[in-house]
Amino acid sequence: SNPAFIIISLLYFWIAAGVLYSSDAESAQRVLVLKIPLLAWPLALAGTENRFQFNHKRLLKAFSLSAVVSALLLLCLATWRFAFQQQADAFFFKSLFVWEMVPAHYLSLYFSFAAGLCLHHGLLAWRMSKRNISIIWWICLLLLLVVVGLSGIRIQWIAMPLVLLTVMVHHLRRKPNLLKPAAILLALGAAAIFFSPEFHRRLKVSVIEWKAMRGDAAEQYQTNPRYYLWKHGLSVIEQKPWFGHGTGGGTDALNRSLEGETATFWNGEASIPLNSRHYNLHSSYLQHLADHGIIGIILFLGLFLLPLIRPPCRGLPVESLIFLIVCGTSFLTESMLPRQAGLFVFA
C-alpha cells in the first residue's frame, strides 16, 4: 500500500538484475552489497514503527548540531595549521575538509542540508517567541554558510540559495512578519559566500573552463574533467539506452571510451591525461542512465518526484523538501550513490 516503498524495492531489484548482464561483474557485486541500505533502512523503520516512537525531528536536530560541531572543528584545525604550520591554503577546499572518511563533496552536502535545518529551526523558534533559541540556530547557520563558502564546492553555492529561499517562503507564507529577520539572514548568507576568497577563485576557474570548452586558444588547459566525462558518458548511454550497461557496467564502458581520449586537464598542479585515471560519470542521473537505462532513471527520479506529486504528501514536511533540493542539486555533478558516504545518508 506504500507506493514510495514499491519504487525503492523496484529500483533495488533492477540494480540486482543489472548484475546479470554487467561487463564488470566484480564491481556489480560490490555495488549490489553497498546499496543494501537503500532497501534495508526503509524496511527496518517501517517494520519497527509499532514497537517504538522514532522521533525524526529530534534526530534532525542532532544531525544539524553535529554538522555545526564538525564545521567548527574544521575551522579550528585550519586556524592551527595556518598559524603554526604556515599552510597558506588551510581554509580552502580540500585543505579545509580534512576528514579522511568523508570526501569534501559529501561533507558539503551534509552542511547544506544542516544549514537549511538550522534556518528552519531558527525561524520556527522566532515564530514561537523563543528569540534566544532562534539566535543560537542562526549563529549555527552562519557558521555553516562560512564553511560552505570556503569549501569551493560550486554546486553547493547553487543548492544553498535554493534551500534558504525554500525555507523562507515556507515560513513567510505562515507568518509574513518574519520578512525582516529572513531578509537579514539571506543577506548575511549571500555575503558569507560572495566575500569568500575561494568563491572568487572558483569563479575565475569557471570562466577558464567555459573558454576551454569553446576551444579558446588563449586558454592552455581545461580544469574540469566533467566536460569530457559527460561527453563520453552520453555516447555510452546512447549505446544501450533502455537497459543500460548493467550495474557498474556504465563506469566500465566510460573508461573504455576514455582510452582513446587525448585531452588533459589541469588539477591545480599539473596537466593530467584524462585516460590515466579511473572515473565514474560524475552525475548520479547520468550514472543511473549508463548503468540501468531509461527504466532505471525513471525509478530513480520517482524517489524525488513521488513525495511532491502524490496527494497524501501535499503537506510534505519542510525538512523533507530541504533534503530533496540538496540531493537533487548535488546529484547533478557527482555520482554520490556508489559510495557509503552518499548512499547511507540518502537511504
DSSP codes joined into one string, 49-118: TTTS---HHHHHHHHHHHHHHHHHHHHHHHHHHHHHS--TTTTSHHHH---TTS-HHHHHHHHHHHHHHH
Query: For the chain, which residues score pLDDT lower than 70?
Result: 49-54, 178-179, 182, 185, 189, 192-193, 195-196, 198-200, 205, 208-223, 266-270, 310-315
What grid cell was written down for 64?
A: 544539524
Which pLDDT score, from 0 to 100, does residue 86 have? 83
What grid cell was written down for 99?
A: 576528514
As a residue count, the chain comes to 347
Which pLDDT score, from 0 to 100, does residue 238 have? 94
Which pLDDT score, from 0 to 100, does residue 223 have? 61
| 21: Cα separation from own chain's centroid | 29
Residue corresponding to grid cell 588539477: 267
Which pLDDT score, from 0 to 100, does residue 313 have? 46
* Residues 157 and 199: beta-carbon distance below 8 Å: yes
Which pLDDT score, from 0 to 100, does residue 198 have? 67
Which pLDDT score, from 0 to 100, does residue 214 have? 63
* Collapsed DSSP state (helix, strand, coil) of residue 273: strand
Q: What are phi and psi of 130, to 5 degrees?
A: -100, 75
d(CA 221, CA 137): 43
d(CA 201, CA 178): 35
Which pLDDT score, from 0 to 100, does residue 50 have? 65
Q: What are the residue ranges of helices labelled H in the chain?
A: 3-19, 25-34, 36-47, 56-84, 93-96, 104-127, 131-151, 154-172, 179-194, 197-213, 226-239, 249-258, 284-309, 318-330, 340-346
Which pLDDT score, from 0 to 100, does residue 95 have? 85
Which pLDDT score, from 0 to 100, does residue 245 have? 94
The residues with which 265 forms a beta bridge, in sequence order, are 222, 272
Around Cβ 119, how many Cβ atoms within 10 Å? 30
d(CA 181, CA 187): 10
C-alpha distances out from residue 319 to 86, 110, 203, Å: 41, 13, 30
Nearest 5 degrees, angle CA 225-CA 228-CA 230?
105
d(CA 112, CA 96): 16
Which pLDDT score, from 0 to 100, does residue 217 have? 46
Which pLDDT score, from 0 to 100, does residue 211 have? 66
Nearest 5 degrees, angle CA 50-CA 52-CA 12?
70
Nearest 5 degrees, angle CA 4-CA 115-CA 227?
75
* Residues 245 and 31: beta-carbon distance below 8 Å: no
